[in-house]
């Protein structure tokens, strides 16, 4: 995110290409992430995670060598495919291999690692962009991911509990679901230009509806469906967790993208990439401080209170950020950013645990894939919503949009169960 304004100037990206630099990653991830989860159930999470890390690393190297938008967007799509394999595979591996009494601690560490990337990414990326150039961000990412893949390959394997595995993957169901996901993202991407090019919304929207109808019909008639729809629809806990995950990604992705664009613009704060990264440090502190404390907070006051309270804090923080950015009050901006990160850490760290708890252990890959598909779609919706609002009302409008979505998430969270039983994902680690 911190490197995007510099990349836009260096590669002469137009506004639509800037949006696609984010959305191509989200589109590929949303299309394939459930396949990544199903593959983890079938061939093993370790192997799938290894493939995802290697794909992401190679794609990052390709982006570092890009001289125009074509290779950049292709590389971002392959990065999305790599993430679609690696993210659910690592989550499924933890869910299957960790001792039940340590699920909360293990999954909090997983969420905390993702938070670490979100929180330190703007500063590290901004520093590398300012000192060496934006290509160094992707070059360093390639080296780090390939090294991680080598480490995973050479690490001693943990013995996971034996779980029943599906004999086959429903290829037709995957194609229909991928079409549904891609069409949905294309529909969202066309919304900012709906008035000038209505067909850019009408065609993908029709494809989305058609794919949805065909997918539901096929999955109900298939002996081994790609997604067990009755199981998903019966679980109110899973559906609410998926919605909260989408709200969390909507909030963090739209905020980081448009804050960086605004902060580095001449009409905004006029910061360098390093300055924008430093300005986001309070958000990083808030994310990291609350991510590991989330299980204790949820255990103490219940998931409904913790998650809804965190999202209300996010909505309040959006108001502070908007006011502070408008008046260029950096101290108030720091407070708002800290509260934003602290409030968002609780739902972001807790939603995956809720989703894994909601479905049987043998469906760990499917449930992790589904929850991550929802978060990626939420992120795409955030990028698209920001693309509509930012030209009209600037960062103030984007923060208002994020606040409204956070309050919707708070309403969803209020319906969660308050039960916290020993060994459950709501139990605080020792």
Q: What is the pLDDT of residues 350-381, one digit of tens each?
A: 877 777 777 776 666 666 677 777 887 788 78
Domains of the chain: 4-155+226-413 (1.20.1250.20)
For the ranges 23-32, 85-94, 215-224, 412-421, the one whose mean pLDDT is highest: 215-224
Treating both helix axes as pointing N-terminal to C-terminal, what angle do 330-358 and 281-291 enclose, rounded to 10 degrees? 30
What contacts 214, CB < 8 A, 6 or more positions away?
176
pLDDT band (50, 70, 90) for residue 401 = very high
Q: Please give the mean pLDDT across all residues of the chain.
A: 79
Does the pTM surpass 0.85? The reply is no
Q: State the pLDDT at residue 336.
A: 94
pLDDT at 394 over 80: yes
pLDDT band (50, 70, 90) for residue 113 = low
pLDDT band (50, 70, 90) for residue 111 = low
Higher pLDDT, 131 or 243: 243
| 299 within 8 A of 420, measured Cβ to Cβ | yes
Residues 132-177 have pLDDT tens digits of: 888 888 888 888 888 888 877 776 655 444 444 555 667 788 888 8
pLDDT at 402 over 90: yes
Among 82-96, 115-129, 369-383, 402-416, the least confident range: 115-129
Q: Buried b / exposed e across 321-349, counting CB within 10 Å, b at 16+?
A: bbebbeeeeeeebbebbbbbbbbbbbbbb
Q: State the pLDDT at residue 108.
A: 61
* DSSP summary character for residue 167: S
Residues 289-308 have pLDDT tens digits of: 787 777 778 878 888 888 99
Let me know the angle formed at the C-alpha of 334 by 331 and 339, rounded to the nearest 5 degrees: 130
pLDDT band (50, 70, 90) for residue 424 = very low
């Amino acid at each position: 995110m911190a490197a995007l304004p510099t990349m836009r100037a260096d590669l002469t990206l137009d506004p639509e290409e800037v949006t696609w630099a984010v959305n191509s990653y989200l589109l590929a991830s949303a299309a394939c992430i459930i396949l990544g989860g199903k593959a983890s159930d079938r061939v093993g999470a370790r192997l799938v995670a290894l493939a995802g890390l290697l794909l992401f690393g190679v794609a990052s190297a390709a982006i570092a060598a890009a001289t125009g938008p074509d290779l950049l967007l292709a590389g971002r799509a392959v990065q999305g495919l790599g993430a679609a394999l690696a993210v659910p595979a690592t989550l499924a591996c933890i869910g299957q291999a960790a001792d039940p009494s340590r699920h909360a601690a293990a999954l909090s560490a997983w969420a905390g690692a993702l938070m670490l990337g979100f929180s330190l990414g703007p500063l590290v990326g901004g520093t590398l962009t300012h000192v060496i150039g934006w290509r160094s961000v992707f070059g360093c990412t390639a080296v780090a991911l390939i090294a991680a893949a080598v480490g995973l390959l050479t690490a001693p394997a943990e013995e996971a509990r034996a779980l029943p595995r599906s004999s086959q993957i429903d290829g037709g169901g995957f194609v229909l679901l991928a079409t549904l996901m891609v069409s949905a993202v294309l529909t969202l991407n066309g919304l900012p230009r709906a008035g000038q090019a209505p067909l850019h919304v009408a065609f993908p929207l029709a494809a989305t509806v058609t794919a949805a109808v065909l997918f539901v019909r096929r999955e109900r008639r298939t002996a081994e469906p790609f997604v067990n729809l009755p199981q998903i629809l019966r679980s109110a806990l899973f559906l609410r967790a998926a919605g909260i995950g989408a709200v969390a990604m909507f909030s963090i992705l739209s905020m980081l993208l448009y804050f960086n664009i605004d902060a580095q613009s001449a009409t905004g704060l006029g910061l360098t990439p390093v300055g924008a990264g430093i300005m986001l440090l309070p958000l990083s502190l808030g994310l990291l401080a609350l991510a590991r404390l989330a299980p204790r907070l949820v255990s103490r006051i219940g998931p409904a209170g913790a998650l809804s309270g965190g999202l209300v804090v996010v909505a309040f923080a959006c108001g502070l950020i908007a006011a502070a950015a408008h008046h260029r009050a950096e101290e108030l901006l720091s407070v708002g950013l800290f509260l934003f990160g602290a409030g968002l850490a609780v739902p972001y760290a807790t939603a995956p645990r809720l989703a894994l708890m909601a479905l049987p252990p043998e469906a760990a890959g499917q449930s992790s894939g589904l929850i991550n598909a929802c978060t990626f779609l939420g992120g795409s919706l955030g990028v698209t919503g920001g693309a509509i609002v930012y030209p009209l009302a600037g960062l103030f409008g984007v923060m208002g949009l994020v606040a409204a979505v956070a309050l919707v998430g708070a309403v969803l969270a209020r319906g969660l169960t308050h039960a916290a039983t020993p060994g459950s994902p709501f139990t605080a680690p020792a």
